[in-house]
Amino acid sequence: MKIALAQINSIIGDIKGNSDKIISYIKAAKEKEAELIIFPELSICGYPPDDLLLQNNFVANCNQALHSIAKHCNFISAIVGCPSLNKNVFGKPFFNSAYFLNEGKIQTQIHKTLLPDYDVFDECRYFEPNNEFKLITFKNTRIALSVCEDIWFEQEKYYRHNPIHELKKLNPDLIINIAASPFHSQQPQIRFSLFSEIAKKNNAPLVYVNAVGANTDLVFDGNSCVYNTKGEIHLLCKSFEEDLQFIYTKNLNTTNYTVFPSEIENRYKALKAGVKDFFSKNNFRQAILGLSGGIDSALTLAIAADALGAENITAVLMPSKYSSEHSLSDSEKLLQHIPCKKIILPIQTTVNSAETLLFPFFENKKTDVTEENIQARIRGLLLMALANKHGYILLNTSNKSELAVGYGTLYGDLCGALSVLGDVYKTQVYELANYVNRNKEIIPQHIITKAPSAELRLDQKDSDSLPDYSVLDKILFLYIEEKKNVEQIIAEGYDENTVIRTIRMLNSSEYKRFQAPPVIRVSKKAFGRGRKIPLVAKF
């Protein structure tokens, strides 16, 4: 049997657009004489649809589109992901379903069994779990069809029942899994190792079709693949791109010795996809950002230019009396390599006016972070004014280390519609900057090597207020990603006072992160929907 893997980028809620794309892929696969084409999880509505599922007729419209797609399934069959109504008296209102379309109509539907509600997932809010197991027989092949999490039982210890174990009892010839599996930097390798074991243990080839593209904070890497019964990879689709690939089930014993992208390459591609789809799926055209001469804004500009084209970006330089000479010269050199539009708005006159206005209320008070925040907020005001007037979308340039410890100003440098680097630690920012320069210098080397500074007071350095980033990031990683407590982190050899101070800064800054822009997720624990901490709490 010739099978097509259709790795597509769906837009959440665009039922017609997604359906038209699915139909076009069906036609393309039919021209190549494929007998079966497989699409990702919830490909008709996009993933995750969240509370759109609860809108009147949303799921009904999805199923109407499914029937229209089925009419194109003559001389070719399809597996398509779509939500379905739960017609039982009890339970959640919907199922997360995989449909088998054949001979112009819906032949079978298979519901998702394991419904994740950890990290970024909230499927138990909407979907009822499957409790029946059956195979699909097609072209003399017994197919075990499952949906995403159903093959993650042995990796995620949240469940009591193993759907693949239940399906194995029915002696399948082939395992097919349709997925919308969000990317994080370690996910591809975890996934490939898991799939290899599943194929070997069940003595059945595994065909995995994953979504691709980005939906707000979540990025989907694609990397759809096929594993043979020896646990070897037979086919790997593109990463972070739509793709249509074909396999013959009789030839699955061959091996494709694939070179997997590095973790840093995947992280860069994910950030680029996050920016690109945030703009394209929202019909945004132009981006704006503040260019400080520092590494964070330089990297953000490089990623945005790669995603959107330099001609669609405006960089705003806003020097104050504390801005170093090299901040301007480094920015100017960067703009020679990335020829976007440039605006220079010196802010010192505006800062002086604000301080004069506030002087009667600040009398007898020492100069402190308040005056620093005034500068940051004036920059935010100017960026938002330009964005409003010209219809630009402001990109936030703060990194994860800064967001974690509150090293940012609300309504100032935390302004923006999308946080590009909010899930990238400062040490990883340097790695990504060097990756950008892997073939030629784009980000000037001086931007990468100079000591980081907010330049909000004379001779200011980040190290004045924060531990060295090489230490800070490791402590934050252990606390955020590894969920270790203070005592466990100290036991790993870190200075007690530094650990306590770092965690105190992180916990006291939750209210800032609550108001920060959505963050493109590239780690296994990003700020945002996957990390829900009470704003009012004592712990």
> Catalytic residue positions?
41, 112, 148
Contact 85, 58 (CB under 8 A): no
90 CB burial (10 A radius; 0-12, 13-18, 19+): exposed
What span, in angstroms and rounded, lies between the C-alpha atoms of 214 and 48? 11
Query: What element of type H or E holds 493?
Result: none
DSSP 97: E
Answer positive or negative: Cα dihedral of 272, 274, 278, 281. Answer: positive
Contact 247, 5 (CB under 8 A): yes
Length of the chain: 539
Of 164, 191, 241, 208, nearest in space to 38 by CA: 208
Q: E strands along 257-350, which residues?
A: 287-290, 313-317, 341-344
Reduced to 3 states, what is the DSSP secondary structure of residue 172? coil
DSSP 92: -
What span, in angstroms and rounded, lies between the C-alpha atoms of 423 and 398? 9
What span, in angstroms and rounded, lies between the C-alpha atoms of 354 and 163? 64
C-beta neighbour count of 385 within 10 angstroms: 11
Of 435, 439, 459, nearest in space to 448 by CA: 435
What span, in angstroms and rounded, lies between the C-alpha atoms of 348 and 22? 55
250 CB burial (10 A radius; 0-12, 13-18, 19+): exposed
Facing residues of 208 across strands? 177, 225
* Distinct helix (H) and strand (E) counts, the chain: 16, 19
Contact 275, 395 (CB under 8 A): yes
